[in-house]
Amino acid sequence: MASTIFTAPEYDARREKKRKLWMLTAFILVVILGLLIYIFRNWPQEHEISKFMTALQQQQYEQAYGIWLADKDWKAHPGKYSNYSFNDFYQDWGPSGKYGIVHNFAIDGSARPGNGVVVQLTINGRREPEQLWVGKDNTITVWPYPPL
């Protein structure tokens, strides 16, 4: 017998159940993927802060300054950064700076209040957290507002 537009294939309950299971699985995977993307949306900026703090912890201040500026070759053109020179940076973040030698740090969280990310961290177990701003270009600066 020839198949026409008016003759439907026989209903297959097993096939329909399989199709629904695949659709449910795909939906759950999309939701999980969306949640993971949302949860880790600030991970790149938190990672930059982690690299910066690790360099300070290892007392590699020139490397930390390069991370701060998002310019590993900052020594090739130091005049470009005359508004915040390495000496200024060393006074702020070196052994005689606000935190002294960095022994430990913990990233407490992050927020995205505009074109960058504010990362809140605890340095050397101090009670008051520090907030650092990571811009779109991965430059770092101190966030001027009260803690999150």
State the DSSP string of the chain.
----TT-PPPP-HHHHHHHHHHHHHHHHHHHHHHHHHHHTTTHHHHHHHHHHHHHHHTT-HHHHHHHHHT-TTGGG-GGGGGGG-HHHHHHHHSTTSSS-S---EEEEEEE--SSSEEEEEEETT-SS-EEEEE-TT--EEE--SPP-
State whether 22 and 56 are in the same domain.
Answer: no
State whether 66 and 84 are in the same domain.
Answer: yes
| Average per-residue pLDDT for the chain | 90
Q: 22: domain range?
A: 12-41
Q: What mean pLDDT comes out for the span 103-119?
A: 91
pTM of the model: 0.79
State whether 65 and 138 are in the same domain.
Answer: yes
Q: What mean pLDDT comes out for the span 128-144?
A: 90
State whether 30 and 77 are in the same domain.
Answer: no
State whether 75 and 105 are in the same domain.
Answer: yes
> CA 63 to CA 132: how far, in whole Å?
17
Which of the four pLDDT bands, split at 50, 70 and 90, describes residue 145? low
Residue 148 in this model has a pLDDT that exceeds 60: no
Residue 4 in this model has a pLDDT that exceeds 90: no
Q: Could you tell me if residue 4 is inside a domain?
A: no
Task: Give residue-wise pLDDT tens across range 75-93.
Answer: 998 788 888 899 999 999 9
Q: Could you tell me if residue 127 is inside a domain?
A: yes
* The two structure tokens encoding residue 8: 């439907």
State whether 123 and 93 are in the same domain.
Answer: yes
State whether 59 and 19 are in the same domain.
Answer: no
Total tally of structural domains belonging to the chain: 2
Distance of CA 69 to the CA centre of its chain: 17
